[in-house]
């Protein structure tokens, strides 16, 4: 490649951000380009953004670890008790080594302490089944298989993008049932990010397009207007400005597929009836504006070699030479173009946020338009102001050279550009304003209401300005009419003469008094209802104030500020944080995450700016929106629309949590009552580590006999129908705060396990006080003892699960009765053959002989019944709000009644 040619003067070109081809860019109008690779290796965005994605662990896993610790203690204490008692017992004469049971020479020679240690270890091995190792396998399987139900759910399927939900991690399924805080992005998440031109204001007159459906047919008619209209000249100037002042590109052949990756903001979802015109722009607002202008008769035809073509109302083609584009940036919050008309006039069109345009235009023009802009903003529209300026030849020459120089500057290019931009964009005259609506997502309000009903606090984190965000919040019913708003923004801080910091503290104290101290203590589980006299608070904070709050001038206050802030937030029904930088979003999430009680947080967003908060929260949800797939890729779950969040949390999350919580408790319980008889047997066999059960039973218990029913349960259980869960958001509160894995339910399950273990062992122990159990007088030995205990155990544990199962599909039937049948079959089989590879035929015909004994049958039946009796008793005695929350609570049952009445189908729940 030649950069210089000998006979050519080297041309100096600047390379700036506008020359940067990002990953996935498409080449257009050229076969090839020469490029320079920048930001490679560790400087790539990917490498820089890589923040060592920390492993997200669910609250359930933390509970499991705590329980495990308890069981480990039980295991060790059991082993210690047995070892101690063994040596106490052996110290008696003749017990250690009676004549009939001599030790080998090796055993006699072993050191006493070594023996003690090996004894301890043997007991550990004997009792190690109490640690439910197989639970981890089952939990993993449950999570992996269970997450398919999210992918498969057709309710999550969005016909528009032809995609359903996506599960990136299966570790957090149950966390979806534990969410206490939802942090949502506004644009693209709460709203559709599908901009629509609503109205404009030209020279102070409002133009609202009434017949939106028929919009394209009235191309030739005058702009519909409310009362009066501005001069035609002004009108056309305004529309030309809309047509020219942008960076939109036209893709004529809209139906054709573009090879390569997605370009942000493709607007090709719905083919247009007349002209297959597709606009591509970096911001959806610009497309909306160009389309808006098109509806009023000015069509942007495209940019051809620096010439912008527009078709005016008379269907004439007007050509403008594009001289300069003064790019948009978030600091200036405006952009401009400098064009030259056919007649040689040089015009500058500028559009931008009201706050950045108003100071740069003639003050007398502002007032007329400000009214409209503010009204539009409160209605939730995104507003832009349009200004223009005619440049004289001299002015242009100055600007042109300035711009060129600044662009070529190798140092401080940004600053220089900024300076010249500011210099050029002065003294303009305001010609109008536009209002673009960012429509709410489907069912956004219902979803938010359901989330709040479920006791989830919703925080809206947005980069938008306060008025727009606030109106969105009202539209989403996050703020209600009666909600008292507590504002903590730059504006409220600055209206006093006091210093900002002092004012901040003062306001914080004031709000804290109102929201926290004066509020009556909220009873757990009280629904948000209209009848309660509780004042609801909405809290609003903006980015600048937040950074002041997070990094106060005096470090000592940081903690105080933060506590006050958090307490206010926790007592508000909804919190709105506007003007947030992406990092601040993550900061907020982190602050809530680490606050008292470490609540479970969920972030939902669709854009790259939400990635940091998605990664920060316990559960990150990506919306498959229009802003690329960055958020989806970094999320734990991705859903096509915001409305799907409701089912994801209320139905899937709730069910997953109940399932896995039950699974965990059940596993601990079943291993406890499995191993407890073995422990008790040590007291009767001289603490000799004699196992009660045969080795095959020991191994198969967790693998085959009792694993499948609980797996099926944990995949299929619906303790309440999905419709009921969706209709009664309050049900979600029942499982809040890890309700089923707290110490109380854990204690209940443990006590149940101990009770049943005692039953199994001592029931059979009393039966064996006379081991002649067959009607031919023959006696049973120790393996029969173990087999009877084991049979009772397998049946009890399986039937206990059957009692807990509320949703019996054929799979449950098959697996529960199947594993019992398999146990019987296996026992026959295992005891029916002399196995050549076994050293000892311990179980040879033990099971069959057991079944031939009536007494064994009777004891098995009564022990199973007796073990399940407490469970049955609890069903009758359990208060409506039991530790398992399986029974419908009182208030819920009324909901359910209503549901049943409104759905007269014979579904019982």
CA torsion, ordered 667, 672, 675, 680, to nearest 10 deg: -170
Cβ(863)–Cβ(759) under 8 Å?
Answer: yes
Pick the closer one to another protein by CB: 71 or 814: 814
Pick the closer one to another protein by CB: 743 or 817: 817
Crossing angle of helices 654-682 and 112-127, in 10° steps, is: 140
**Contacting another protein within 598-637 (CB under 8 A):** 629
Of residues 153, 171, 185, 438, which has the active-site annotation?
185
Instruction: Look at the block and give the residue holding tokens 């409209």.
Output: 372
**Contacting another protein within 377-396 (CB under 8 A):** none
- Report the residue from 877, 902, 905, 906 that binds another protein according to the rule CB under 8 A: 877
**Contacting another protein within 332-351 (CB under 8 A):** none
For residue 818, what are its two tokens?
């199947």
Binding region for another protein (CB under 8 A) out of 236-244, 345-353, 749-757, 841-849: 841-849
For residue 740, what are its two tokens?
């089923």
State the nearest-atom distance from the C-beta of 196 to another protein, in Å: 19
CA-based nearest residue to 642, from 315, 281, 191: 191
> How would you classify residue 615: left for phi > 0, otherwise alpha for psi between -120 and 50, otherwise beta?
alpha
Q: Is 882 in the site for another protein (CB under 8 A)?
A: no
Q: Is 851 in the site for another protein (CB under 8 A)?
A: no
Say how far apart CA 698 and CA 675 lie, in whole Å. 9
Q: Is 85 in the site for another protein (CB under 8 A)?
A: no
Say how far apart CA 325 and CA 348 lie, in whole Å. 10
State the nearest-atom distance from the C-beta of 237 to another protein, in Å: 35
State the nearest-atom distance from the C-beta of 29 to another protein, in Å: 19
State the nearest-atom distance from the C-beta of 855 to another protein, in Å: 5
Q: Is 77 in the site for another protein (CB under 8 A)?
A: no
Write out the DSSP string of 158-201. BTTTTB--EES-STTTGGGGS--EEEEEIIIIIEEEEEEEEEEE
Give long-range contacts, CB 8 A cutoff, 24+ apart: 859-865: 859/763, 859/764, 859/767, 859/788, 859/792, 860/788, 860/791, 860/792, 860/795, 862/763, 863/759, 863/760, 863/763, 863/764, 863/792, 863/796, 864/792, 864/795, 864/796, 864/799
Q: Is 27 in the site for another protein (CB under 8 A)?
A: no
Q: How far apart are the first and last CA of the chain?
A: 75
Write out the DSSP string of 521-534. PPPTT----SS--P
Q: Is 110 in the site for another protein (CB under 8 A)?
A: no
Say how far apart CA 357 and CA 351 lie, in whole Å. 7
Pick the closer one to another protein by CB: 177 or 204: 177
CA-based nearest residue to 337, from 327, 345, 329, 490: 327
The pairing of beta strand 278-280 with beta strand 601-605: unpaired
Q: Is 906 in the site for another protein (CB under 8 A)?
A: no
SS3 230: coil
CA-based nearest residue to 83, from 127, 110, 117, 112: 117
- Report the residue from 271, 359, 427, 496 that binds another protein according to the rule CB under 8 A: 271
CA-based nearest residue to 569, from 532, 534, 595, 598: 595
- Report the residue from 76, 809, 822, 883 that binds another protein according to the rule CB under 8 A: 809
Label residues 683-717 b or e (16+ Cβ within 10 Å = b): eeebbebebbbbebbbebbbeebbbbbbbbbbbbb
For residue 318, what are its two tokens?
């007007």
Pick the closer one to another protein by CB: 37 or 255: 255
- Report the residue from 1, 112, 269, 556 that binds another protein according to the rule CB under 8 A: 269
**Quick one: DSSP state of residue 781?**
-
Binding region for another protein (CB under 8 A) out of 46-54, 472-480, 819-827, 861-869: 861-869
Instruction: Look at the block and give the residue holding tokens 């020359």.
Output: 19
Report residue 819: phi and psi, to 5°: -75, -30
- Report the residue from 19, 51, 65, 102 that binds another protein according to the rule CB under 8 A: 102
- Active-site residue flag, 316: no
Cβ(450)–Cβ(730) under 8 Å?
Answer: no
**Contacting another protein within 744-763 (CB under 8 A):** 763
**One symbol per residue from 518 to 537: x for binding another protein (CB under 8 A), - otherwise; what is it?**
--------------------
Q: Is 814 in the site for another protein (CB under 8 A)?
A: no
- Report the residue from 779, 817, 825, 829 that binds another protein according to the rule CB under 8 A: 779
- Report the residue from 34, 228, 305, 908 that binds another protein according to the rule CB under 8 A: 908
Count, residues in the chain: 909
Say how far apart CA 97 and CA 114 lie, in whole Å. 18
- Report the residue from 2, 23, 99, 214 that binds another protein according to the rule CB under 8 A: 99
Instruction: Look at the block and give the residue holding tokens 């008889």.
Output: 677
Q: Is 282 in the site for another protein (CB under 8 A)?
A: no
Pick the closer one to another protein by CB: 219 or 774: 774
Pick the closer one to another protein by CB: 309 or 765: 765
Label residues 630-654 b or e (16+ Cβ within 10 Å = b): bbbebbbbbbbbbbbbbbbbbbbbb
Q: Is 371 in the site for another protein (CB under 8 A)?
A: no
Q: Is 192 in the site for another protein (CB under 8 A)?
A: no
Q: Is 777 in the site for another protein (CB under 8 A)?
A: yes
**Contacting another protein within 218-257 (CB under 8 A):** 254-255, 257
- Report the residue from 224, 841, 851, 891 that binds another protein according to the rule CB under 8 A: 841
Binding region for another protein (CB under 8 A) out of 341-349, 463-471, 597-605, 901-909: 901-909
Binding region for another protein (CB under 8 A) out of 64-72, 190-198, 240-248, 840-848: 840-848
State the nearest-atom distance from the C-beta of 808 to another protein, in Å: 4
State the nearest-atom distance from the C-beta of 156 to another protein, in Å: 8
Report residue 22: phi and psi, to 5°: -80, 170
- Report the residue from 39, 117, 808, 817 that binds another protein according to the rule CB under 8 A: 808
Number of residues binding to another protein, judged by CB under 8 A? 110
Q: Is 902 in the site for another protein (CB under 8 A)?
A: no
**Contacting another protein within 673-732 (CB under 8 A):** 684-686, 688-691, 716, 718, 722
Q: Is 151 in the site for another protein (CB under 8 A)?
A: yes
Pick the closer one to another protein by CB: 336 or 689: 689
Q: Is 897 in the site for another protein (CB under 8 A)?
A: yes
Say how far apart CA 703 and CA 708 lie, in whole Å. 8
Q: Is 807 in the site for another protein (CB under 8 A)?
A: yes
For residue 513, what are its two tokens?
């008094």
- Report the residue from 4, 100, 113, 530 that binds another protein according to the rule CB under 8 A: 100
**Contacting another protein within 475-514 (CB under 8 A):** none
Q: Is 905 in the site for another protein (CB under 8 A)?
A: no
Q: Is 258 in the site for another protein (CB under 8 A)?
A: yes
Q: Is 36 in the site for another protein (CB under 8 A)?
A: no
Q: Is 782 in the site for another protein (CB under 8 A)?
A: yes
Say how far apart CA 850 and CA 855 lie, in whole Å. 9
Pick the closer one to another protein by CB: 224 or 249: 249
State the nearest-atom distance from the C-beta of 3 to another protein, in Å: 33
Pick the closer one to another protein by CB: 268 or 302: 268
State the nearest-atom distance from the C-beta of 799 to another protein, in Å: 13
Active site members: 185
């Amino acid at each position: 490649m030649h950069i210089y040619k000998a006979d050519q003067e080297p041309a100096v070109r600047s390379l700036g951000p506008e020359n940067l081809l990002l990953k996935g860019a498409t080449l257009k109008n050229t076969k090839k380009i020469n490029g320079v690779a920048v930001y490679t290796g560790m400087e790539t965005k990917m490498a820089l953004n890589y923040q060592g994605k920390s492993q997200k662990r669910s609250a359930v896993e933390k509970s499991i670890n705590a329980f495990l610790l308890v069981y480990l203690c039980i295991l060790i204490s059991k082993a210690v008790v047995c070892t101690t008692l063994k040596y106490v017992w052996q110290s008696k004469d003749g017990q250690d080594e009676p004549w009939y049971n001599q030790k080998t020479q090796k055993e006699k020679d072993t050191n006493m302490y070594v023996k003690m240690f090996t004894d301890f270890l043997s007991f550990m091995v004997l009792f190690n089944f109490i640690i439910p190792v197989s639970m981890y396998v089952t939990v993993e399987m449950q999570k992996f298989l269970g997450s398919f139900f999210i992918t498969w759910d057709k309710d999550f399927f969005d016909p528009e993008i032809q995609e359903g939900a996506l599960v990136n991690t299966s570790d957090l399924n149950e966390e979806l049932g534990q969410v206490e805080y939802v942090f949502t992005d506004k644009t693209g998440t709460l709203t559709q990010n599908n901009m629509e031109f609503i109205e404009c204001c030209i020279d102070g007159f409002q133009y609202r397009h009434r017949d939106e459906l028929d919009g394209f047919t009235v191309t030739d008619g005058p702009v519909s207007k409310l009362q009066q209209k501005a001069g035609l000249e002004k009108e056309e100037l305004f529309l030309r400005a809309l047509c020219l002042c942008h960076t939109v590109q036209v893709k004529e052949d809209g139906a054709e597929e573009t090879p390569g990756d997605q370009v942000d903001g493709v607007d090709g979802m719905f083919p247009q009836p007349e002209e297959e015109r597709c606009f591509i722009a970096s911001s959806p607002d610009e497309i909306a504006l160009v389309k808006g202008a098109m509806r009023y008769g000015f069509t942007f035809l495209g940019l051809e070699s620096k010439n912008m073509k527009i078709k005016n109302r008379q269907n004439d083609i007007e050509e403008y030479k594009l001289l300069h584009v003064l790019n948009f940036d978030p600091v200036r919050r405006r952009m401009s173009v400098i064009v030259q008309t056919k007649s040689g006039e040089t015009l500058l069109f500028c559009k931008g946020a009201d706050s950045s345009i108003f100071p740069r235009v003639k003050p007398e023009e502002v007032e007329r338009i400000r009214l409209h802009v503010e009204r539009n903003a409160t209605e939730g529209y995104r507003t832009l102001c349009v200004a223009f300026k005619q440049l004289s030849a001299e002015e242009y020459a100055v600007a042109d050279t300035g711009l060129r120089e600044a662009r070529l500057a190798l140092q401080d290019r940004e600053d220089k550009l900024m300076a010249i931009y500011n210099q050029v964009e002065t003294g303009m005259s305001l010609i109008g304003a536009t209002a673009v609506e960012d429509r709410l997502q489907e069912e956004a309000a219902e979803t938010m209401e359901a989330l709040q009903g479920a006791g989830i606090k919703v925080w809206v984190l947005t980069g938008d300005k306060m008025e727009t965000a606030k109106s969105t919040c009202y539209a989403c019913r996050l703020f209600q009419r009666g909600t008292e708003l507590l504002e903590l923004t730059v504006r409220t801080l600055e209206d006093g003469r006091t210093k900002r910091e002092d004012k901040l503290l003062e306001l914080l104290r004031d709000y804290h008094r109102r929201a926290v101290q004066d509020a009556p203590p909220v009873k757990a589980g009280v629904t948000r209802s209209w009848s309660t006299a509780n004042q609801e608070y909405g809290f609003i904070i903006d980015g600048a104030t937040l950074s002041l709050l997070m990094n106060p001038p005096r470090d000592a206050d940081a903690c105080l500020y933060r506590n006050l802030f958090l307490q206010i937030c926790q007592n508000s029904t909804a919190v709105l944080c506007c003007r947030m930088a992406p990092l601040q979003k993550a900061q907020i999430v982190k602050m809530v995450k680490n606050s008292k009680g470490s609540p479970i947080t969920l972030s939902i967003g669709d854009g790259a700016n939400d990635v940091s908060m998605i990664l920060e929260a316990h559960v990150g949800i990506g919306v498959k929106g229009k802003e690329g797939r960055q958020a989806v890729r970094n999320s734990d779950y991705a859903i096509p629309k915001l409305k799907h969040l409701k089912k994801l949390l209320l139905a899937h999350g709730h069910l997953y949590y109940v399932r896995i919580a039950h699974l965990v408790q059940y596993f601990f319980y079943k291993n406890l009552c499995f191993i407890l008889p073995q422990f008790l047997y040590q007291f009767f066999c001289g603490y000799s580590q004699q196992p009660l059960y045969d080795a095959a039973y020991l191994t198969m218990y967790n693998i085959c006999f009792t694993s499948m029913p609980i797996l099926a349960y944990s995949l299929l259980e619906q303790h309440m129908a999905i419709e009921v869960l969706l209709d009664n958001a309050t049900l979600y509160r029942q499982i809040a705060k890890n309700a089923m894995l707290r110490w109380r339910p854990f204690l209940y399950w443990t006590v149940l396990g101990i009770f049943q273990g005692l039953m199994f062992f001592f029931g059979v122990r009393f039966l064996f006080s006379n081991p002649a159990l067959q009607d031919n007088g023959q006696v049973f030995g120790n393996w029969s003892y173990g087999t009877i205990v084991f049979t009772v155990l397998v049946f009890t544990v399986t039937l206990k699960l059957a009692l807990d199962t509320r949703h019996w599909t054929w799979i449950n039937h098959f697996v529960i009765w199947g594993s019992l049948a398999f146990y019987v079959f296996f026992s026959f089989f295992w005891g029916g053959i002399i196995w050549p590879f076994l050293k000892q035929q311990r179980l040879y015909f033990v099971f069959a002989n057991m079944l031939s004994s009536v007494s064994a049958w009777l004891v098995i039946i009564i022990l199973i019944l007796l073990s399940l009796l407490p469970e049955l008793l609890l069903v009758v005695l359990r208060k409506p709000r039991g530790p398992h929350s399986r029974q419908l609570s009182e208030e819920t049952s009324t909901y359910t009644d209503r549901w049943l009445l409104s759905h007269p189908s014979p579904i019982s729940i």
